[in-house]
Structure 1
Amino acid sequence: MNTKAIYAACLFAALNICTLSARAEADVTPMSYSYGSHLDIKKVLSLKQDSAPSCGVVNAQLTYLDSQSKTQVLDYRKLADNCNSDN
């Protein structure tokens, strides 16, 4: 079999897997974190945050799998990453 055909088939399969997971993520309704919320996190899939030019509080989003391997999305607020060097 032609190696180019094999590479093309592998690339096509990988792209299909990525689009399926993106579509599954889009169907999940985010919940907002409140102090004391019980979080059932088995595996973290992604962490996102709003960009901030300086140190301050930003909106962030955590996408994760729970113990039943269902995708969950959590909205929360945190200090921006560029605050790490400030005390």
Structure 2
Amino acid sequence: MKVSMLVLALCGFSTLALAEESQTQVTAQQTPVETYTYNSHPDIARVLSVSQPPNVCKVVPARMRYEDSHGQQHIMSYLVMGNGCSNG
């Protein structure tokens, strides 16, 4: 009886965890990607993640996920130089 109650409780907990994870993924998919320009003045309160540039010697796109001062998440696209250039 105790084992079945434990299994039932664990199943309920794992279902809630999966629901929270899928909600996070849905939110990420619904966030529009903003393109940075020199006229942009983003309200960046906290950086959540930054993509790593590839190991090439050219300008490549990068993305930054951040929260503004109101707690809303944004994704910004911008250009960076790749990590594949050498100085000599």
1:35 partner SS: coil
Instruction: Give yes or no for the alignment of 1:30 onto 2:27.
Output: no
Q: Match for 2:51 among 44, 48, 60?
A: 48
Deviation at 1:76, TM superposition (A): 0.4
Q: Match for 1:74 among 62, 76, 81?
A: 76
**Partner in structure 1 of residue 62 of structure 2:** 60
Query: RMSD of the alignment, in Å?
Result: 2.5
Structure whose alpha-carbon radius of gyration is higher? 2
Deviation at 1:36, TM superposition (A): 4.4
2:75 partner SS: strand
Q: Match for 2:18 among 15, 20, 28?
A: 15
Structure 1 Cα separation of the partners of residues 43 and 20 of structure 2: 25
Aligned residues: 83
Structure 1 Cα separation of the partners of residues 57 and 10 of structure 2: 45
Identity over aligned pairs, percent: 28
One-letter amino acid matched to 2:66: Y
Unaligned runs of 5+ in 2: none
TM-score by length of 2: 0.69
Structure 2 Cα separation of the partners of residues 11 and 86 of structure 1: 49
Deviation at 1:53, TM superposition (A): 4.7
